[in-house]
Amino acid sequence: MKITKELLTVIKTATKFCGKDNLRPMMTGVHFSAKDGKISVVATDAHILFWWKEKQPSLKCRDYSFTLPMDVIKSLKEGDTIIATNEEDPNVLINGKVVKKLEWYYDEKRKLILSRRYPDYRAVIPSNDPNSLYFEFEDDVKHVVDRIKGCSNSTSKLIDWFLSENRMTAEDLDFEAKASIRMDFKGSFPDTFHCRFRSDKLITTFCLKGEVRMDFSTKHRAFVLHKEWMDGELIRLIMPCFIED
């Protein structure tokens, strides 16, 4: 696997979504895999998922997967070559030199065996969502969130999204400040649909410019975002906050 300028940008972006919890050591690194010659790069902190995958095969090799720790990731540069020696438990070589990868180990202090297996991120992605929205992030979402988030509660940072009315609203805990802005979308969604997000998580999830497709089904399931980016498809998940009926 050759580290091109585009792939290096993908990897560096993925590091922003890695976890910092030492009880989940696999999530503190960036996960790489190859299937049918297509590279995937994954990072998650268990709240937001970052998944980039190639659209066209760039490799001629057997399938493999491994997770590299942050100190190895930070040392990567354009032109480096990463080689995985086998499928089941690959040794990872960068420019011919074996580097460490995240594996299981025994935590003597907590008396725990921490697994090297990366979370099954594919299992949490909803399929066959009936609703889709298309919008430009900078113009349709970030602009609105930046204008109304000052009225949301300083602790919860919650904003309400009324999709059926193309409206986003923020209101403080004492109901003394409120902001509501209409938005323009194209796509299909129910006649009445109300969901709630943390403004900071919403901005972090949508951190790229350009058109985004958001698929969803109910207000309690993950919203899946798709974007064409760096000769591949970028997929991100964001969980709405629970709303009582």
The pLDDT, as a whole number, for residue 207 is 59
* 195-225 residue pLDDT tens: 888 888 777 766 567 888 889 888 888 888 8
Q: What is the pTM of this model?
A: 0.79
CA pair distance 233, 76, nearest whole angstrom: 22
Burial 85-110 (b: 16+ CB within 10 A, else e): eeeeebebebeeeebebbeeeeeeee
Q: List, for residues 74-96, the tens digit of each pLDDT value.
A: 899 999 998 887 655 667 888 88
With cut-offs at 50, 70 and 90, classify the pLDDT of residue 53. very high
Helix (H, G, I), strand (E, B) or coil at 112: strand
- Domains, the chain: 5-124 (3.10.150.10), 131-238 (3.10.150.10)
Query: Under 8 Å CB-to-CB from 161, ≥6 apart: which residues?
Result: 167, 168, 169, 194, 195, 196, 197
